[in-house]
Amino acid sequence: MLKEPIAITALSSISALGNSSEEVWESYQNGKHHISKTRIGNQTVWASVLPESIQSNIEDLRHSDAKYKDLDASVLFAMYTARKAIAAAGWKSETNFGVNIGSSRGATALFEKFHQEFLEEGKSSTLSSPTTTLGNISSWVGHDLKSKGPDISHSITCSTALHAVLNAVAWIQSGLSDKFLVGGSEAPLTPFTIAQMQALKIYSKEDGDYPCRAMDFGKKQNSMILGDGSALACLESGQKNNALGYISGIGFATEPLEHNVSISSDAVCFQDSMKMALGHLDPSKIDAIILHSPGTVKGDVSELKAIEKIFCNKIPFLTTNKWKVGHTFGASGLLSVELALLMLQHQTYISTPFFNQEPNSKAIKNIMVNAVGFGGNAVSILLSK
């Protein structure tokens, strides 16, 4: 149990859904996916691509400072999103806040570029190491914002962003810091990253209306799709007048691996993380769950089975955003938090095209957000009004 609620005083993101909470909310209501056929390397695949206006803003940032021109897109995504987040929260450069931003893959484009140069020339570029270290993300964001707190970067696969939340909550509750900027940033739309997912046989080959069929629990083939994105939140201790919502419970768990990329058929890790996040709260008090649901056959079904184990015959409203925006790896958990906060703010349930549920008129007070990655490292965050 948390000693006191942790306020989320701002959350900013960039993804195929848009560049502001207004754009993102409109995207969630339009019933359409934001996935397109995109040329990546030598093949055309489904992908969730940033709108041209956002790409232009990122390029402006890249050329705004000579030190920024050689940074990976994942770092620039985080810097751009961080500026928006702290402005919305009202934090100033002299504010003492920590930074914890992660990425599942890190500097994918630069890794591929520098490795290709090495294969062709037999030597490495001067900047190949400093621009590809994972610590790049938080350290450059801290530099750009002139923050005075700790700068922490990490990779815990697809639950990276929610692990950043867990870590920040621990720092805040310890009294070592009262403010933290947290989240994840990912730029995985590169030839080798796509090829990796195809080698696992989980990348979508769908030709229908919905390329990613996340939460279609009857699908016969995997339909995961990758997307670029970044999402960062400002966390502060205690009650705040400008709070978008509160973190009222946190849970985490891992489980022994049977295979490098799998979790158990009933996602024991999710069962444990959801129990922990609930604490003493009656499961019937949860109004909605935003699933990790990556669009894979086994991944989607195992999470549903875990929910059924914990909530029995009182299943909350279930939803996900991956059918609409794809899987942004380390950033995905915070994009799910964004959806949860928008549902709390607008008191509107956002459904998926595949999972049939009775219309719900119940007020939305508590939403659980799930994330898990390779290695069975699950996180569940309980958000409340």
Quickly state the pLDDT bin for 27 (edges 50, 70, 90).
Answer: very high
Q: Residue by residue, what is the 3-state secondary structure of the chain?
A: CCCCCEEEEEEEEEECCECCHHHHHHHHHCCCCCCEEEEECCEEEEEECCCHHHHHHHHHHHCCCHHHCCCCHHHHHHHHHHHHHHHHHCCCCCCCCEEEEECCCCCHHHHHHHHHHHHHHCCCCCCCCCCCCCCHHHHHHHHHHCCCCCEEEECECECHHHHHHHHHHHHHHHCCCCEEEEEEEECCCCHHHHHHHHHCCCECCCCCCCCCCCCCCCCCCCCECEECEEEEEEEEECCCCCCCEEEEEEEEECCCCCCCCCCCCCCHHHHHHHHHHHCCCCHHHCCEEECCCCCCHHHHHHHHHHHHHHHCCCCCEEECCHHHHCECHHHHHHHHHHHHHHHHHHCCCCCCCCCCCCCCCCCCCEEEEEECCCCCCEEEEEEEC
Per-residue pLDDT, 3 = 84
Q: What is the pTM of this model?
A: 0.97
Per-residue pLDDT, 92 = 84
Quickly state the pLDDT bin for 148 (edges 50, 70, 90).
Answer: confident
Quickly state the pLDDT bin for 331 (edges 50, 70, 90).
Answer: very high
Quickly state the pLDDT bin for 257 (edges 50, 70, 90).
Answer: confident
Per-residue pLDDT, 290 = 98
Least confident of 83-97, 125-139, 260-274, 290-304: 260-274
Per-residue pLDDT, 253 = 96
Q: Is 3.40.47.10 the CATH number for 6-384? A: yes
196-217 pLDDT, tens digit each: 999 999 999 999 899 999 999 9
Per-residue pLDDT, 17 = 98
Per-residue pLDDT, 229 = 98
Mean pLDDT of the chain: 95
Mean pLDDT to the nearest integer, 10-27:
97
Per-residue pLDDT, 2 = 86
